[in-house]
Amino acid sequence: MDYQILLFYKFVPVADAVSERDALLEICKQLNLKGRIIVAPEGINGTVSGLVADCDAYRAWMDAHPLFAETEYKIDPFEGHAFGRLSVKARAEIVTLGHECEPWEKTGKHLEPAEFKAMMESANPLILDIRNDYEFEVGRFKGAVRPDVKTFKEFPDWLRTVIEPGEERPILTYCTGGIRCEKLTAYLVDQGIENVYQLHGGIVTYGKDEQTQGEHWEGVCYVFDDRVTVPIGPNVTPVTRCLHCGVEIARFINCASVDCNKQFTCCEACEEKFSRSCSEECIHSERRREENGKLAIELRSERIKLRRQAYRARRKERLKAAQCAANAALTEPTIS
């Protein structure tokens, strides 16, 4: 295949995230890469797609960077771009937890795939899935605890209900590529929990490892690009069923109604039979991608308009806060 998908992150102190964002945006544009990259004071997190030569050039650029050298990559071949556009942003966190921690200083103990598999089999561990609930639904390790969360920042509160005080069992954590485990186990270590481990390289690496070959994994792995899900290992055991006919299937699609856009499991036969729709209402929706060529342009215009409105609202709030602070400073009594 002529294209690749790169999945990568690195926790490292970044002094000027905005400048780094600008440099990353420029090199990605030069190389015609598409995808999402976030840079923050705590590091970089991204997934991009592009021609193999362009992906190689990007990795060479990163390797020469004083902060991002030695970044690890998960690389998958693909038939084209896996993303529709490029987004490079500077934010407060590369993965939003809402708690300060320093994974480059201390984090959960890394286990290679074979070590993780051995500990699952012999140590009676507490296995925690550090992903959102909908990711768990389409695939997970046998015996893993289902995360009762919708977003990553809900994990600290949820873990208090799962990890008993004085828990003596080893705590095994896993996520798609490793970044969420890296940060959450750093938080757990900060909370005084020492017997916590993480799967190095995440589910993606476990599925490619020659020794493990995805053993003990059920279903598929949810990914945040046009593939939606990927197999883990050579043998896929479906844990989900087609929404329409009930056949066991590990296949996700998006509803063709843009006002719905629900992701649901669907076999190929039912995708054709029900016009790639999740309900009778969506079948008859007027705002369907494949039936209205002008709709994509209209939707992009709507999104741009909404983003501009949100930006203006945030700017207005910041100016208001700054004015309030200035007024407060003027009215503070002076000490003579």
Clarify whether residues 26 and 134 are in a common domain: no
Clarify whether residues 108 and 196 are in a common domain: yes
User: What is the pLDDT confidence band of residue 333, given thresholds at 50, 70 and 90?
Assistant: low
Query: Has residue 103 been placed in a domain?
Result: yes
Clarify whether residues 195 and 108 are in a common domain: yes
Q: Is 175 a catalytic residue?
A: yes
Pairing, β 252-254 against β 263-265: antiparallel
pTM of the predicted protein model: 0.80
Q: Which of 68, 90, 112 is the last residue of a domain?
A: 90
Clarify whether residues 183 and 55 are in a common domain: no
Q: Which of 115-124, 138-147, 175-184, 255-264 has the lowest mean pLDDT?
A: 255-264
Clarify whether residues 228 and 122 are in a common domain: yes
pLDDT in tens, 21-45: 999 999 999 999 999 999 999 999 9
Q: Report the C-alpha gap between 57 and 79 in whole angstroms.
A: 19
What is the domain range of residue 101? 97-239
Clarify whether residues 103 and 223 are in a common domain: yes
Query: Has residue 263 been placed in a domain?
Result: no
Clarify whether residues 203 and 121 are in a common domain: yes
Sheet holding 171-174, edge to edge: 109-111, 196-199, 171-174, 126-129
Clarify whether residues 318 and 226 are in a common domain: no
- Is residue 293 pLDDT above 60, yes or no? no
The per-residue pLDDT for 299 is 60
Region 95-121: mean pLDDT is 96
pLDDT in tens, 249-286: 888 888 999 889 888 999 999 999 999 999 999 999 98
Clarify whether residues 16 and 123 are in a common domain: no
Say which of 28, 55, 101, 175 is annotated catalytic.
Answer: 175
Query: Has residue 280 been placed in a domain?
Result: no
Query: Has residue 266 been placed in a domain?
Result: no
User: What is the pLDDT confidence band of residue 336, given thresholds at 50, 70 and 90?
Assistant: very low
Q: Which of 239, 255, 273 is the last residue of a domain?
A: 239
If one counts the domains in the chain, the total is: 3
Clarify whether residues 166 and 192 are in a common domain: yes
Clarify whether residues 149 and 225 are in a common domain: yes
Alpha-helical (H) ranges within the chain are 17-30, 52-63, 113-122, 133-138, 155-162, 179-190, 202-208, 268-273, 280-283, 295-331
Clarify whether residues 138 and 14 are in a common domain: no
Query: Has residue 109 been placed in a domain?
Result: yes
Query: Has residue 254 been placed in a domain?
Result: no
Q: What is the largest CA-CA distance in the chain?
A: 83
